[in-house]
Chains A and B, each alone.
Chain A
Amino acid sequence: MAIEMEMEFEKESPKIYRFPQSKYIDALRWIPSPSSAFDRFISLALHDPDTDSSSIEIHSLTNQNPSLHLESSWTSSSRISALKVSQTPSKTLIAASSFDGSLNLLLTNPLNVVIESENSISDKDFHVGPISGIDLNGGGSECVTVGEDGRVNLVNVGESSLGYKTVFDSHGLVSYAAVKWASPYEFATGGLGFSLQWWDQRKPGGAVSQLKGDWARRSKSGIVHSIDIHPSRKHVCVAGGSSGTIFAWDLRWQQQPILLSWVDAQVGGVNSPSESEVWEVQYDAYMQSQNVSNTSSTRVLPVMMCSEDGILASIEQGGKQVEVLGETSSINSFDIDLQNPSDVVCSLEWESVVFVSRQ
């Protein structure tokens, strides 16, 4: 399989630009830009342990000779645990959850990305302890939050205020680590024991279906850290987690997940670019565009992942892997520019942002 991989992807190596920061980067996201002619923008969630301060910074990334320039920043009262960005023609919304259980929403001007207003929820009934995952829906009108406390909340993003309702509360019997919208009504969550849950707002009272955790019996169990759902294939949910595991869950065949990448502890088999925590997964539209013939509806679309052992790679069902970046430090998060899917930004443990252009 490895040979096949080399044969097919022998092409120009990606261009890599590194931008050292002087703070720890907790998360980073592209901010969609109104036009490709302008510089692009990136939002960073930063933490400085020396002063124990956290902030969200917006940087512009110049198109020519890529470099980062600070445009605006906002100080957070607590360390940021998750970051999401959503854009509509009239506004850009940055949602950031924190380790102390609050959610902050920053509204920026889509043209010059200056932060215009902020709103937050830090209610005691909202979340207790860290919020581990958030996701904004397409229109930026609703934000779903999940936490280690086992709560699933839906936040209604209004013009001037935020309202929320608790969809579910497991009282700590279950903890959630990741969440992703599938449709205006449905979303998926993931958590301990490689479990995934599917929720439908129209059917309240709990998850409508769940992927049983015992499928991972063959190897060590773990935690799902990240989920992605492709807008054109809402029935398939791809998840990444501990021990280099990446799998897809097809709601039409619920009982068994499709393994894309795994480490088999018992047999000693490795079919994964990484053997440690997969921190984030996202569908890789660039890889998808590279091999159009292979996108039959039964196959899982190519997925990009980043890991604790410093790998940024794209993988496909069937074991094909393309390593984009191999670092000596952990790659904690990444984001693919949906407008230019060949471009990726990622954050390194060692206080650096890396911009990779695969064109």
Chain B
Amino acid sequence: MPGRLSSSGDSVVPFSSEVRDPVVYHIQHGVKPPISRLSIAWSRGNCLRVSFFRPELDEEEVGGKVVEVKLSSGDEEFDDSQKRKIAYGSVSPFAVFQNQKNSILAMSKMAYHIDWSHQVMEYSRDVKSLLGYPSTTPSSVIDDPRTVLKTGEKPTCLKAAWELLEIFYADKQSHAWLPECLVDWLAVMILLTSDYDSLLSASEVTVHSKLVDLQNQLVNFQAVEDDRNYWEGVSSALSVGWFDTAVKLLRLHGSYQVDQLGNRETENGLVEAVAVLISKMPRMRPELSKRGLGECFKTKPDFMKAWEKWRGHISKLECSAFWIQCDHQQTRDGLRNLLQIMLGNTNSLEAATCNWMELYVSNFLYIRPFTMGLEGMYTLAQKCMQLRPMSNTHRLMGLIFGILGENIEVVLAECSREFGLWMVAHAIELLTAGSNQAEMLLHEERHNLGGISIEELHRLVYAQVLASHALTWQIAPVYLMSCMKQGIALLEILLYKQPVQHNRMLLKSLEICRMYQLDSISTNLMKIAGIYHWKHGRKGFGVFWLQQAGDELRLSRIAQQLFDYVGKSISDDSFKQWEGMIELLSSEAMSAGGLEFLHKYRDLKKSLQKVRDGIATDTAKQAVESLILLMKSPSTPQRFWLSLMHDSLKLLNWRERPLLNVSQTNLLLNKLQELSMARLRPDFCETDLPPQTLGTIRLALATNLGRAILEE
């Protein structure tokens, strides 16, 4: 591991000079002391392999132990395989979006104003769809009127964080109805914080927990309206905008029962009036959410008009004379409190909500429905926090404040700290789409980062994480190729690091090379594989890969080794073994680096075998052709000359007529002469043939020459 450099100016990634308090973790290893040696190394992924060694004194005790320590970011929302699933799923949206961006950028050189918000949203939606998982409890088919709370998809913090970024950075249209977007988002968030396995302590009361308790009690109630919890539940649901729940609860009011309807007419009328007012609330949004009620307006003037009218109806009901006729005290108070909430009475809102986020939502719903953009959102959040502080801070809080405070650096840091490298690498796309300032900040090439931008840095780091795992390394190239400066170099390293011994793996690496047109890397990988297989005795594979790589040099070098092997082993019956290899070499389009000798050698051997079996002159003539071809070929090694001619003695001494003509005989004689000369040189290697061979061949050739001259 790299040590700390003396000055931070030299380092690629700047580090802070302040030393933070070290965190101490204990590793349970169970090795008896003394421990003489300790070794720490990286294992797969983010595992550390710690080896403990004991001195070799004690014979009974074990000599040591190896412990794998998993360094987790503490994010237990997704396990490793789920994280991989997200990584796999986000490859395609990322790649598609990069392509779109590149083509739009290429076009924008001609046109000035180009809007890609549509593409950004598509990307964001595709990625978002990967982040949630369906609730484990299946939803009931029968709609139970007493089920006031419905759970669909189980929310995840990661998805909530992504949605938040989408609302503020990617979705340009949402800026017109930001408060409503926040209401929807906080509804999920409130569920998240109420979740028993979330970071918040279970003891903390929230609107959600209140409603869950209420739902459990509902079965036992005879007259719900007599219970204080019922009215609290309705007001809480209303305050955070869960209108369907609030209306559903109101309709459980005792006055709706058939036997009661007669004598509680006025009371029932009031309950229904409030329920109708709730469901008619004007809302500044394009469409309703799943649990939403109310009337939607798309433009601000229409909305303001409807809003005033609606408030008018509430005020009118508030001053109505019917309240006096209602003799059920709890109903009267409860309903009037609901009206106060809708009118935006600060005290009522504060009473109905349990923490600052809920209060924050209620503020947007009833006090500041006209908020546009980010104005005042930050100060409002701070105010709510002071009024209703939360005992624990949720991991999304930092992100929210970063966004509301319009501080891109904080947003990025929070994404990285809380949600990891995947989040940063993918969320940057949303951030840069969101504002010019963010784009400049993230795209600016920085000297202290070695000339790359923050965006590229995060992509590279994410790619390195992908590359460290056997199942994800293949998707790292997608991210590396989107890095202009350092991507290619790192991809090269990644590809060279992959093991070549498994052919499937090698072929997958080669496929990546093909996709990105990295021909030279591809060639090198084939060479490495070729040498590996050759060294491990798989000669066929070795030759195949070297041929594919077009590596003449190595092929001719291994050819020498192969010839040694041939010299020893090509007996007539072992030729079957060679058959496949020779076929491999025969494809002429491939370079064989001198190995084509083997092919011709095989042909000669074959014809000689035929000659031995029969005495047909035609086959013998063919054998002679093969012999001459071999002897003429520059690729035939000199040390084979003698044995070739020795093997062909029968041809030279052909009984019926001389098979070799004058020039052919001369060629062989010349070769023989050359051999005799070469024998004088120190580097000449002797064959295993008997010493008189040379003489025998010379004699045979001379005889043949004589006969050939006579014939011609």
Q: Which residue numbers of A lie inside 8 Å of B, CB to CB?
A: 20, 22-24, 49-50, 99, 128-130, 132, 148-150, 168-175, 177, 191-193, 195, 197, 205-207, 210, 212-214, 216-217, 220-221, 223, 242, 275-277, 308-309, 328-330, 349-351
Given contacts A174-B579, A309-B511, 15 further A-B contacts (CB under 8 A): A20-B85, A99-B502, A129-B536, A130-B502, A148-B503, A172-B537, A173-B540, A174-B540, A175-B538, A193-B584, A193-B587, A206-B579, A210-B580, A216-B587, A221-B589
Partner of B540, one of A23, A129, A150, A205: A150
Which B561-591 residues sit within 8 Å CB-CB of chain A?
A: 576-581, 583-584, 586-590
With A206-B576, A213-B586, A328-B92 as given contacts, are A221 and B536 in contact (CB-CB < 8 Å)? no
* 5 residue pairs from A and B, CB less than 8 Å apart: A20-B85, A128-B537, A242-B507, A276-B511, A349-B474
Of the stretches B309-317, B489-497, B541-549, B660-668, the one at the interface is B541-549
Contact A330 B508 (CB under 8 A): yes
B609: shortest Cβ distance to chain A, in Å?
15
Contact B88 A329 (CB under 8 A): yes
Contact B44 A223 (CB under 8 A): no
A123: shortest Cβ distance to chain B, in Å?
18
Name A128's closest neighbour in chain B (CB-CB): B537
Q: Which of chain B's residues have a CB closer than 8 A to the CB of A168?
A: 576
**A173–B540 CA distance with the chains assembled, in angstroms:** 4
**A207–B88 CA distance with the chains assembled, in angstroms:** 44
**A232–B596 CA distance with the chains assembled, in angstroms:** 40
Q: Which of chain B's residues have a CB closer than 8 A to the CB of A330?
A: 508
Most buried by B among A20, A24, A177, A216: A20
**A188–B583 CA distance with the chains assembled, in angstroms:** 17
A219: shortest Cβ distance to chain B, in Å?
9
**CB of B469 closer than 8 Å to a CB of A:** yes
Contact A173 B580 (CB under 8 A): yes
Contact A192 B540 (CB under 8 A): yes
A194: shortest Cβ distance to chain B, in Å?
9
Contact A170 B471 (CB under 8 A): no
With A171-B577, A214-B588, A328-B91 as given contacts, are A193 and B471 in contact (CB-CB < 8 Å)? no
Q: Which of chain B's residues have a CB closer than 8 A to the CB of A349?
A: 474
Contact B88 A350 (CB under 8 A): yes
Q: Which of chain B's residues have a CB closer than 8 A to the CB of A220?
A: 548
A55: shortest Cβ distance to chain B, in Å?
15
Contact B88 A277 (CB under 8 A): no
Contact B587 A192 (CB under 8 A): no
Q: Which 6 A-B pairs have the closest CB atoms?
A: A174-B580, A22-B81, A206-B576, A49-B470, A350-B88, A214-B587
Q: Which of chain A's residues have a CB closer than 8 A to the CB of B577?
A: 169-171, 173-174, 206
**A171–B161 CA distance with the chains assembled, in angstroms:** 60
**CB of B45 closer than 8 Å to a CB of A:** yes
Most buried by A among B45, B474, B584, B589: B584
Name B541's closest neighbour in chain A (CB-CB): A175
With A129-B536, A328-B91 as given contacts, are A195 and B514 in contact (CB-CB < 8 Å)? no
Q: Which of chain A's residues have a CB closer than 8 A to the CB of B580?
A: 150, 170, 173-174, 191-192, 195, 197, 210
**CB of B84 closer than 8 Å to a CB of A:** yes
With A308-B507, A309-B511, A328-B92 as given contacts, are A221 and B548 in contact (CB-CB < 8 Å)? yes
**CB of B210 closer than 8 Å to a CB of A:** no
Q: Classify chain B: how many residues form its interface, as a range.
A: 35 or more
Partner of B590, one of A221, A242, A277: A221
Q: Which of chain A's residues have a CB closer than 8 A to the CB of B81?
A: 22-23, 351
**A128–B540 CA distance with the chains assembled, in angstroms:** 15
Q: Is the interface of B mostly helix, strand, loop or mixed?
A: helix
Name B470's closest neighbour in chain A (CB-CB): A49
**CB of B388 closer than 8 Å to a CB of A:** no
Q: Which of chain B's residues have a CB closer than 8 A to the CB of A129?
A: 536, 538
**CB of B539 closer than 8 Å to a CB of A:** yes
Which B67-103 residues sit within 8 Å CB-CB of chain A?
A: 80-81, 84-85, 88, 91-92
Q: Which of chain A's residues have a CB closer than 8 A to the CB of B537?
A: 128, 149, 171-172
**A220–B548 CA distance with the chains assembled, in angstroms:** 8
What per-residue 1/0 map shows which CB atoms of B267-289 lie under 8 Å from chain A?
00000000000000000000000
Contact B511 A170 (CB under 8 A): no
Q: Which of chain A's residues have a CB closer than 8 A to the CB of B587?
A: 193, 213-214, 216-217, 221
Name A130's closest neighbour in chain B (CB-CB): B502
Contact A148 B507 (CB under 8 A): no
With A50-B45, A150-B538 as given contacts, are A193 and B544 in contact (CB-CB < 8 Å)? yes
Q: Which of chain B's residues have a CB closer than 8 A to the CB of A49?
A: 44, 469-471
Q: Which of chain B's residues have a CB closer than 8 A to the CB of A277?
A: 507, 511
Q: Which of chain A's residues have a CB closer than 8 A to the CB of B544?
A: 175, 192-193, 221, 223
Most buried by A among B44, B80, B471, B533: B471
Contact A308 B508 (CB under 8 A): yes
What per-residue 1/0 map shows which CB atoms of B505-547 lie under 8 Å from chain A?
0011001001000000000000000000100111111001001
Q: Which of chain B's residues have a CB closer than 8 A to the CB of A130?
A: 502
**A242–B507 CA distance with the chains assembled, in angstroms:** 9
Contact B588 A174 (CB under 8 A): no
**A61–B586 CA distance with the chains assembled, in angstroms:** 48
Name B85's closest neighbour in chain A (CB-CB): A20
Q: Which of chain B's residues have a CB closer than 8 A to the CB of A309?
A: 511
Name A169's closest neighbour in chain B (CB-CB): B577
**A68–B140 CA distance with the chains assembled, in angstroms:** 23
Q: Which of chain B's residues have a CB closer than 8 A to the CB of A328?
A: 91-92
Q: Which of chain B's residues have a CB closer than 8 A to the CB of A172?
A: 537-541
Most buried by A among B474, B537, B540: B540
Most buried by B among A20, A22, A172, A212: A172
Contact B579 A210 (CB under 8 A): yes
Most buried by A among B508, B533, B586, B589: B589
Q: Which of chain B's residues have a CB closer than 8 A to the CB of A192?
A: 540-541, 544, 580, 584
**A217–B586 CA distance with the chains assembled, in angstroms:** 10
Q: Which of chain A's residues have a CB closer than 8 A to the CB of B584?
A: 174, 192-193, 195, 213
B550: shortest Cβ distance to chain A, in Å?
11
Q: Which of chain A's residues have a CB closer than 8 A to the CB of B578?
A: 173
Contact B474 A210 (CB under 8 A): no
Most buried by A among B44, B45, B537, B541: B541
Q: Which of chain B's residues have a CB closer than 8 A to the CB of A213?
A: 583-584, 586-587
B569: shortest Cβ distance to chain A, in Å?
9
**A212–B92 CA distance with the chains assembled, in angstroms:** 41
**A329–B91 CA distance with the chains assembled, in angstroms:** 10
**A210–B582 CA distance with the chains assembled, in angstroms:** 12
**A315–B92 CA distance with the chains assembled, in angstroms:** 27
B513: shortest Cβ distance to chain A, in Å?
11
**A328–B96 CA distance with the chains assembled, in angstroms:** 11
A102: shortest Cβ distance to chain B, in Å?
16
Contact B583 A193 (CB under 8 A): yes
Contact A212 B469 (CB under 8 A): no
**A177–B538 CA distance with the chains assembled, in angstroms:** 13
Name B507's closest neighbour in chain A (CB-CB): A277
Q: Which of chain B's residues have a CB closer than 8 A to the CB of A275?
A: 514
Name A132's closest neighbour in chain B (CB-CB): B503
A47: shortest Cβ distance to chain B, in Å?
9
A280: shortest Cβ distance to chain B, in Å?
12
Contact B588 A217 (CB under 8 A): yes
Name A148's closest neighbour in chain B (CB-CB): B538
B67: shortest Cβ distance to chain A, in Å?
15
Name A349's closest neighbour in chain B (CB-CB): B474
**A128–B580 CA distance with the chains assembled, in angstroms:** 19
**A297–B2 CA distance with the chains assembled, in angstroms:** 68
A337: shortest Cβ distance to chain B, in Å?
25
**A349–B45 CA distance with the chains assembled, in angstroms:** 19
B48: shortest Cβ distance to chain A, in Å?
14
Q: Which of chain A's residues have a CB closer than 8 A to the CB of B590?
A: 221
Q: Which of chain B's residues have a CB closer than 8 A to the CB of A242?
A: 507
**A210–B576 CA distance with the chains assembled, in angstroms:** 11
Most buried by B among A23, A192, A212, A217: A192
Contact B538 A210 (CB under 8 A): no
**A195–B544 CA distance with the chains assembled, in angstroms:** 12
